Amino acid sequence: MLNRYGHVAALLALGAVQVPMIVASGVLLLLSFALGMVFLFPPQVMMVRRMAELHRRLVTRHAGIAVESPYLPPPPPPVPQADGMYRSDRTLYKTPRVPAWNNRWRWLVSDPGTWRDQSWLLLDPLVKVLLLPALLLVPGRGLRLYARWCRLLLGATAASRLAAQVGHLRRTRNLAADSQAAEMRRIERDLHDGTQARLVAIGMTLGAVEQLVDTDPAAAKALLAKAREASSETLTELRRVIRGIHPPVLAERGLADAVRALAMDSPLHVTVDVDLPKRAEPPVEAAVYFAISELLSNAARHGGAQEATVDISAHGPHLRVTVMDDGMGGADPSKGSGLAGIERRLAAFDGVLAVHSPPGGPTTVTMDLPHVLPEPESATRKMPRWKMIVVGLLWATAWCPTFPQGVVAAIFKIFDIDEKAWFLALYLPPQWQWPTIIGMIVLGVVMHVMAIRIPAAHDNQRFLLYSKPLNPWIP
């Protein structure tokens, strides 16, 4: 109880702060739009947003009612054109400062959450005054009422949730496109520097053979032997490039055998432990395979490791991969060690990368990919037979107490119809008739609700068991 009164006191104290903030906000808005001092509008909006965000946290923590932020995603930073200039509407700028400010201005003005915050700030002190008796007499109930008011104006809307999802999908698409472009550049570089150069050399050798085949057959045979060796090396190089695009063993035998083959080719002593009841989709397998390949390569080249362990496991539909090596540690995604590329590769599947690499080692990298595996058979099983029978009986019998013994009997009772028919309540003493009719209606409604809730509860339990994220930080 004392804690609740402390929460109420905190909210009331913030209300005292809100009153001068309302005055300051009004002045800033007046200067921004009436006198054209538009540079004052963003600070005013951010000031109100910070106050609104503070209230969201407080009511979520104290009343147990979550209030999500409703704001649209911020605009991306300006991108220069081919000539290095930055465009904002029809004007070009040499630096991104003005386009970025214009984009931020439009974002703040067009976001409905901005104006909902302004309305909330204006009305919230009055609401606190109106709820003051409830907050003081029954603080628990008062806090919940206040939380519902905050959720009404400060909570997320369907439009803001959709915009957040669209923004997330856009970022994921861009990351996937960047990863694909980097992969294509790598393949092009490998073909240009390796396979293409060898084929050009073979062509030049065969040209020399054509000139020597009549005048110096022995030299021509020697050159043909060199061309044959070069073609063998070119084939080996081409196979390496193909394995870099999509290893045949990965397509044919799956992620487990592909990682074991990768471990055999690694200069490290690699232990592989795989627990995957079912295969993931090919793009997911490829992303995980190349991520493991990059991590083992980093451990050997940069970490000075001798041994490594790869653990691949399934947790319902979630996939977790842990790679640990005994190297010198100090791995940092911001230093260009290949970890940033792995993050981009995993981001296409909403995957996250966690790195623990203290100086001196060991290095542990954990990759979590949610909802990428087929659900276990138990996750899609039907309800038990006894539940299906209960639901069927409820649907088959719930109509009887609801309508004939409840609603219809009530109509007969209201209009004083003498016909009792088979209505049970009408055969009882008058003082028991209405309680029985109401009880029949309540019983029928409860039976209908149970018939709906039993399958829903089964589906909800299945969802919680097999859709819970591996990591509490994964949304």
pLDDT in tens, 175-205: 666 666 666 676 777 677 677 777 878 888 8
pLDDT value of position 144: 85
Average pLDDT over residues 351-358: 87
User: 147, 59 in Cβ contact below 8 A?
Assistant: yes
pLDDT value of position 11: 86
Least confident of 269-273, 297-301, 450-454, 459-463: 459-463
Q: Which residue has the higher pLDDT, 331 or 469?
A: 331
First to last CA, the chain: 33
Q: How confident is the model at residue 379 (pLDDT cuts 50, 70, 90)?
A: very low
Q: Is 368 helix (H, G, I), strand (E, B) or coil?
A: strand
Record the tokens describing residue 374, joined without a space: 């087929």
* DSSP secondary structure letter of residue 216: -
User: 312, 288 in Cβ contact below 8 A?
Assistant: yes
Q: How confident is the model at residue 169 (pLDDT cuts 50, 70, 90)?
A: low
Cα–Cα dist 24/31, whole Å: 11
**pLDDT of residue 463 exceeding 50:** no
**pLDDT of residue 432 exceeding 80:** yes
Q: How confident is the model at residue 470 (pLDDT cuts 50, 70, 90)?
A: very low
- Kindly report the backbone phi and psi dihedral angles of residue 354, in degrees, each rounded to the nearest multiple of 5, phi listed first: -120, 130
Least confident of 95-104, 308-317, 336-345: 336-345
At residue 231's C-alpha, the angle toward residues 226 and 237, to 5°, is: 125
Q: Give just the sign of the alpha carbon dihedral 165, 166, 171, 175.
A: positive
Mean pLDDT over each residue of the chain, to the nearest integer: 81
Highest mean pLDDT among 117-126, 137-146, 380-389, 454-463 belongs to: 117-126
pLDDT value of position 337: 57
Q: Is 234 helix (H, G, I), strand (E, B) or coil?
A: helix
If residue 118 lies in a helix (H) or strand (E), which one and from where to where? Answer: helix 112-130
Cα–Cα dist 436/441, whole Å: 9
* CA proximity to 323, closest of 295, 358, 349, 286: 295
**pLDDT of residue 110 exceeding 80:** yes
pLDDT value of position 181: 63
**pLDDT of residue 45 exceeding 90:** yes
Q: Which residue has the higher pLDDT, 359 or 234?
A: 359
Average pLDDT over residues 326-354: 79
* DSSP secondary structure letter of residue 333: G
Cα–Cα dist 201/405, whole Å: 95
Q: Which residue has the higher pLDDT, 396 or 333?
A: 396
User: 113, 48 in Cβ contact below 8 A?
Assistant: no
Alpha-carbon Rg for the chain, nearest whole angstrom, is 35
Q: Is 134 helix (H, G, I), strand (E, B) or coil?
A: helix
What confidence tens digit (pLDDT) does each residue in 53-97 have?
999 998 888 888 888 888 888 888 888 887 888 888 778 888 888
Cα–Cα dist 173/168, whole Å: 9
**pLDDT of residue 336 exceeding 60:** no
Cα–Cα dist 168/100, whole Å: 20
pLDDT value of position 243: 59
CATH class entry, domain 252-374: alpha beta
**pLDDT of residue 376 exceeding 80:** no
Instruction: Count the Cβ atoms, other than its own, within 10 Å of residue 245.
Output: 13
Record the tokens describing residue 112, joined without a space: 């409905």
Cα–Cα dist 376/387, whole Å: 21
Least confident of 105-109, 191-195, 371-375, 414-418: 191-195
Q: Could you tell me what percent of the chain has a pLDDT over 90?
A: 11
